Amino acid sequence: MELFESKVRDSFGRQAFMTTLGAEIDCIAPGKVEIRMPFNPDHTQQDGFVHAGVISSIMDSACGYAAYSLAPEGCNVLTVEFKVSLLAPAMGKKFAARAEVKRHGKTLTVCAADAFAINGDREKLIATMLGTIITLPAPAPSPAV
């Protein structure tokens, strides 16, 4: 396994919120990440569609990990801002967020992601995101309490 893939998978494995959503990394390449998530009725809004916050969350994480795959060792990334355009109701058996780095800089990285509703072998574009990610030195480990 490549070093960038190992560090992304390790970090993702520590992210409790993605575990709560049932999200998993499907594939990783330098500057690209895909996160998949199954439909869960607990994640729906009042009309039965998956909530926009859930879809935005998997796109945000996909963008963050796409940027993290290119970050130097000893650094972490955090989202600075993002814009989401919701294009269609989130109805599907599964959902995928595919992110790609558009420009990687020393401090700021711009990423884009698309989210898809998946039914069988059919995919429908349901949302798109443009995000800015900052690269920061990793914090020192906290002393054990």
Mean pLDDT by 10 residues, the chain (145 residues): 88 95 96 98 97 98 97 95 98 98 97 98 98 92 68
Q: What is the pLDDT of residue 143?
A: 72
Give the C-alpha distances (Å, rounded to integers) separating 104 from 25, 133, 141. Answer: 21, 9, 27
Q: What is the pLDDT of residue 35?
A: 98
61 close to 18: Cβ distance less than 8 angstroms: yes
Q: What is the pLDDT of residue 134?
A: 98
In the chain the domains, ranked by start, together with CATH numbers, are: 3-137 (3.10.129.10)
pTM tops 0.75 = yes
R_g of the chain, CA atoms, integer Å: 15
H or E, element range at 63: helix 52-68
- DSSP 8-class letter at 43: G
Residue 95: name the closest of 77, 113, 82, 78 by CA.
Answer: 113
CA dist., res. 124 & res. 94, Å (int)? 11
CA dist., res. 20 & res. 63, Å (int)? 19
